[in-house]
Amino acid sequence: MNEQLTKLVEMTRTLGQPQNDYVIVGEGNTSCRADGGTFWIKASGQQMNGIEANGFVQVHAAPILEMLEKSPGDLAAQKNVMEAARVDPAVKLMPSVEVSFHAMLLEECNAQYIGHTHPVAINQILCSTRAEEFARKRMFPDQVVLCGPESVLVPYVDPGLPLAIAIRDRVRAYIDTYNEPPKVILLANHGLIVVGQTATEILNVTGMTVKSARILIGACSVGEPVFMADEDIPHIYRRPDEIYRRQQFVERSN
């Protein structure tokens, strides 16, 4: 098993640990870049907790990305493209139905790893009227440092190709505003996507986003939440010492 797949397996298992409350049953999916224009993605129906290397499928990115520019047709036609994109035709597992947004984010955000989960704390907010507020505002410095100055919020869209296109539009708007890709993408009534350069970054940003959700829920339970001032957020995010700390959180877990 190569190093990329080894790290992806370990990251996915950690995200899937029951005590985290990020996913249950077959929820969520993860991916990472491989070689030669390919990437690894969790196969459809596989559980993240305890997953092995054979629970992932290696696919060619190009035919998946082409679907975003010109849809091949209905769901059956899209499935045919996904099947044909598998690097090893002998593999019987199908890539996750969300393979299109993984291919798009790896490309558009120049990312190495992606983690998509459905944390209960986050979905409590994303299934409420507080979703936009949670995406736009920040409550404490480490939320800014790890999760970025703002999160992308995508309204509910049918999973699969329509969702990938909706995410792409919102991500491009974020990049136009901040001149860098987002770290956190929130899917209304659905879940969380974290985009990063290392498996460690995915785990750390996911954990901090979940902590942020729990803090907002707790603050709402005792009164109105108090958010950081808008002018303080870019200051914290661009401080040299915080940039250094952020890099440590990307490269290692402590």
Secondary structure of residue 148 in the 3-state scheme: coil
Using only the alpha carbons of the chain, give its radius of gyration. Answer: 18
What local confidence, expressed as pLDDT, does residue 74 receive? 85
Q: Where are the alpha helices (DSSP H) in the chain?
A: 3-15, 61-69, 75-84, 99-108, 120-126, 131-136, 141-147, 161-178, 199-222, 232-238, 240-251
**What span, in angstroms and rounded, lies between the C-alpha atoms of 30 and 116?**
6
**What span, in angstroms and rounded, lies between the C-alpha atoms of 220 and 213?**
11
Sign of CA dihedral 124, 153, 183, 246: negative
**What span, in angstroms and rounded, lies between the C-alpha atoms of 49 and 42?**
12
What local confidence, expressed as pLDDT, does residue 65 receive? 97
What local confidence, expressed as pLDDT, does residue 252 receive? 58
Number of neighbouring beta carbons within 10 Å of residue 160: 19
Please report, in tens digits, the pLDDT of each residue of the chain (254 residues total): 688 999 999 999 999 999 999 999 999 999 999 999 999 999 999 999 999 999 999 999 999 999 999 888 888 888 899 999 999 989 989 999 999 999 999 999 999 999 999 999 999 999 999 999 999 999 999 999 999 999 999 999 999 999 999 999 999 999 999 999 999 999 999 999 999 999 999 999 999 999 999 999 999 999 999 999 999 999 999 999 998 988 888 875 43
Closest CA to 171 of 187, 186, 188, 152: 152
Q: Which domains, ranges and CATH numbers included, belong to the chain?
A: 3-251 (3.40.225.10)
Contact 134, 186 (CB under 8 A): yes
Residues 6+ apart with CB under 8 A from 38: 58, 59, 60, 61, 87
Closest CA to 42 of 112, 120, 101, 97: 97
Closest CA to 183 of 217, 142, 218: 142
What local confidence, expressed as pLDDT, does residue 254 receive? 36
Instruction: Kindly state the tokens that stand for 8.
Output: 């992806």
Q: What pTM value is reported for the model? A: 0.96
Instruction: Kindly state the tokens that stand for 110.
Output: 């120049």
